[in-house]
Amino acid sequence: MSASFRVVTGALALLLPLGIAGSAFGQDRAGATPATAATAKSLRQAAGDRLLLGTAILSEHLDDPRHAELIRTQFNSVTPGNEMKPDHVQNERGKFTFERADKIVAFAQQNGMQVIGHTLVWHSQSPKWLYADAQGKPLPREQALANMKEHIEAVVKHYKGKVKGWDVVNEGIPDGPGDLRDTPARRAIGDDYIIKAFEFARAADPDVELYYNDYNIDMDYKRARGLKLVKQLQAAGVRLDGVGIQGHWLLEKPDLAEIERGIKAYADLGLNVMITEMDVDPLPRKEITAELSATEREGLDPYKAGLPDDVQRKLADRYAALFGVFAKYPQVTRVTIWGTTDANTWLNNFPVRGRTNHPMLWDRQMNPKPAFDAVYEALQSATGPGKRAARGTPAERQ
Ligand code: XIL
């Protein structure tokens, strides 16, 4: 039996329970390509049960039936892109506003998708009162700890049993010198604020997975500090269930080999590695960063009329190469793409406001791009029978 035949059979078997038209999918792999084949391809099906494949969404996307259909059929996991952040769930002290995030959770439950909680402690998109007084002065440690505990406890308990895992602390390592970023929480609490956040989250839900999440901790300049932090957390008795590498990458940078060194380094510590906010930015910019305050005032906007074919091809090749690297590591248990279509990616406004960006797998009309096919093919070959260890904790896999 040829390898490709086995892949087709496996994919068809996965299609049937979800009731998605399976014939076009199978015929497409076999060479006869009916007109509907492109839309019948599903990344969710191609990933099977071996990889969580996610997308970051906003609750309003679910009001558009076409958009909701795309999310439901193409992904098996969602991350609320904004709606679980501190300023969304508790902007005013003690007034919890879970409605919009709840809507995402309900959608995920109806469609058999996992939800990833993002995020409990972060220096952006968080109300000032959590860690500072009205004058902006850091709160006394005990007060800040009490606020952090109350926030984490309320949010984690609200979503107990509904969220697979939490990005407990986001972006704790600086781009410049130093082991820890200078953040409101750290200024008020001290260097152990990250350990404390994990302790509060674990106490609120003993079963949920807890992750440390950051950008560029795969890259050479930040990796040693990422590893150091992870080891410190483990030494402090924190049960860390994974490390999230955000994965806001550019078309040509960082080098594939550098990203792979990063994935391998965390995997070698016995950790699951998740690519939590993947996108590939084809527009020119100065730096590889996801720091929200690092906006660039001016930037070229060369693809307003659409992405030229050669760049489209490069984008597809880059996605294929990255998914090829992920497939080498069974520790990579989830890949979440930060957005769904080019119309709703945050990169239309970052690092330069108001550009026409094209980093996603679907274009502005929700048509799949060559990058979609590239990811689909990469998933097919990576998750074919016998190609990849089943998902699980490193211990379970041994
Ligand atoms: C972004 C959202 O996508 C935008 O809608 C929002 O305006 C700013 O934040 N790293 C993260 C994410 O951890 O939370 C950020 O999300 C992107 C960078």
pLDDT digits (tens, 9 = 90+) for 200-217: 999 999 999 999 999 999
Q: How does the average pLDDT of the chain come out, rounded?
A: 89
With b for 16 or more beta-carbon neighbours within 10 A and e for fewer, the 158-194 pattern comes to: bbeebbbbbbbbbbbbebeeeeebebbbbbbbeeebb
- Index of the ligand 1 atom closest to the CA of residue 349: 7
The answer to whether residue 171 is catalytic is yes
pLDDT at 36 over 90: no
Indicate which residue's Cα is closest to atom 12 of ligand 1.
81
Q: Is the CB–ligand 1 distance for residue 277 below 6 Å?
A: yes
Whether the CB-CB separation of 362 and 340 falls below 8 Å is answered with: yes
- Index of the ligand 1 atom closest to the CA of residue 122: 13
Average pLDDT over residues 96-119: 98
Helices (H), 131-171: 141-158
Cis preceding linkage at 295, omega within 30: no
pLDDT given for residue 8 in this prediction: 34
From the candidates 83, 209, 277, 291, give the one annotated as an active-site residue. Answer: 277
pLDDT at 2 over 50: no
Distance 281 CA to ligand 1 centre (A): 14
From the candidates 69, 92, 99, 171, give the one annotated as an active-site residue. Answer: 171
Determine what percent of the chain is predicted with pLDDT higher than 70.
86
pLDDT at 41 over 80: yes
Average pLDDT over residues 47-76: 97
pLDDT at 394 over 50: no
| Nearest by Cα to 130 from 166, 99, 98, 155 | 155
pLDDT given for residue 11 in this prediction: 39
Distance 81 CA to ligand 1 centre (A): 6
Q: Is the CB–ligand 1 distance for residue 81 below 6 Å?
A: yes
Indicate which residue's Cα is closest to atom 10 of ligand 1.
290
Of the pLDDT bands very low, low, confident and very high (cuts 50, 70, 90), residue 287 is confident
The answer to whether residue 69 is catalytic is no
Of the pLDDT bands very low, low, confident and very high (cuts 50, 70, 90), residue 29 is very low
CA dist 242 and 11 (Å) reads: 28
| Nearest by Cα to 75 from 31, 119, 47, 44 | 44
